[in-house]
Amino acid sequence: MSELAVRAEKLDAADELAPLRSRFVLDDVDDAVYLDGNSLGALPANVPDRVADVVRRQWGELRIRSWEESGWWTAPERIGDRIAPLVGAAPGQIVVGDSTSVNVFKALVAAIRMADASRDELLVDATTFPTDGYIAESAARLTGRTLRAVTPAQVPSALSDRTAAVLLNHVDYRTGRLHDLPSLTAAIHASGALAVWDLCHSAGALPVGLDEHGVDLAVGCTYKYLNGGPGSPAYLYVREELQDRFDSPLPGWNSHAEPFGMSPSYAPAPGAPRGRVGTPDILSMLALEAALEVWDGVPVAAVRAKSLALTDFFLECVAAYTEPGRVESVTPEPHEERGSQVALRCADAGEVMKRLIDRKVIGDFRHPDVLRFGFTPLYVGFADAERAARVLGEVLG
């Protein structure tokens, strides 16, 4: 056994979060290493029985009575309050529902509507996940604003009295770079604009501090580090002080002050529910609620500490097991600039990832030359990191 493998065993033995692995359905029997939780989190072990109950009893037996008796109607806010502590938010500011894309649209248009009419420019992260850019372009056209794409580092110098809102990613989906949410939010506010953050690659992996840093609006998915399942509903955060001004571009009967009044005119509900639109997707929403129970008693700070230790160790193992120059890390080394994934540039990355998956090391590939390895501290251990790096070295060799 190599020195690194011995170290991995010792690190796993000392890991206070290691018992959490038993809360998930994993491929331990097949000896697979799952490092793709930054795309789709593993299945929490309590979810199948909960979904079965929702289908067989709540839907099958109670049927329409479940909207009240099973709490279906209040699920978007109730589950939002479960997510809130994971992103540093007080209760009553997050509503769950729709997709990330839909919530980005709601947040951006609402932010523009809250800004002064003279502010005619919208800034968007030039390195963003493509859909965020598409939505920003559409929001700009619909509201008569000009869209300008800048890197997060360029935001402070790009801000002006023309800026209405800025849409940024907390963690870059390709490289795993963590952007400075506190200082960027402060700069945006100093210019008089509103800050909208996409938390898809940070929620459940590291502290966010939405309330602490005065973020105006935020969105995120729940199927990555929150392990909500494929296509699980996204969430929308609206800072409490802005909720009475939040003017959704997608008003629906679910966000009406009197949803069953069936009024022909719209009057928004107070608080976070005005971020709702139509009938909630109950099956996936309640699967998410069950999945979030794995977080009971788990401090986000401990998750962050393990994430950094895992990615440090993985990078050390990659350096030891691969020939110099064969791969290049594009994930920043400083902890304050790193999310919870490692991205390696490799000339034949697509083929390399296929061969890794054949060897039961599951990561993913991003065009044109990036291998991505996501480290979910709730169920990934140091032996997983060592084995993944060792197999990578063998595949490249």
CA distance 192 to 310: 39
Sheet holding 328-329, edge to edge: 328-329, 341-345, 370-374, 364-366
Residue 34 falls in the annotated catalytic set:
no
Which residues 6+ apart lie within 8 Å of 162 measured at CB? 118, 119, 120, 121
Helices (H), ranges, 180-330: 181-190, 282-291, 300-321
List the one residue out of 326, 340, 318 whose CA is nearest residue 388.
318
* Residues whose CB is less than 8 angstroms from the CB of residue 202 and which lie 6 or more positions away in sequence, other chains included: 170, 171, 178, 208, 220, 225, 339, 340
Residue 317: half-sphere exposure toward Cβ, Cα within 13 Å: 27
- From 24, 34, 105, 223, the catalytic residue: 223
The rounded Cα 192 to chain-centroid distance in angstroms is 27
Catalytic residue among 372, 375, 384, 390: 372
Can you give the pLDDT at residue 5?
98
User: pLDDT tens across 244-278, in order?
Assistant: 999 999 999 999 999 999 999 999 999 999 999 99
How far is it, in rounded angstroms, from Cα 391 to Cα 165? 45
Q: List the structure tokens of 97.
A: 């529902």
Active site residue 134: no
Q: How many C-beta atoms lie closer than 10 Å to residue 378's C-beta?
A: 24
The sign of the dihedral angle between the CA atoms of 86, 88, 91, 95 is negative
Helix axes 382-396, 349-358, angle to 10 degrees: 120
* Omega before residue 368 within 30° of 0, cis: yes
Closest CA to 193 of 168, 210, 170: 168
Which residues does the chain have with pLDDT short of 70? 28-30
C-beta separation of 217 from 168 below 8 A: no
| Alpha-carbon gap, residue 36 to 32, rounded angstroms | 12
Q: What is the DSSP string of 180-223?
A: -HHHHHHHHHHTT-EEEEE-TTTTTTS---TTTTT--EEEE-SS
Element (H, E) at 44: strand 43-44
Radius of gyration of the CA atoms of the chain, in A: 22
Token pair for residue 351?
């083929």
What pLDDT is recorded for position 31? Answer: 85
Out of 105, 129, 365, 375, pick the active-site residue. 129
Q: What is the pLDDT of residue 65?
A: 98
Q: Is 372 one of the annotated active-site residues of the chain?
A: yes
Residue 379 is a catalytic residue? no
DSSP at 177: B
**Residue 198 catalytic?**
yes
- Both tokens assigned to 317: 């193992």
In degrees, to the nearest 5, what angle opens at C-alpha 98 toward C-alphas 224 and 166? 80
Q: Exposed, middle or buried by CB within 10 Å (0-12, 13-18, 19+), for 367?
A: exposed
Task: Specify whether the CB–CB gap between 256 and 269 falls below 8 A.
Answer: yes
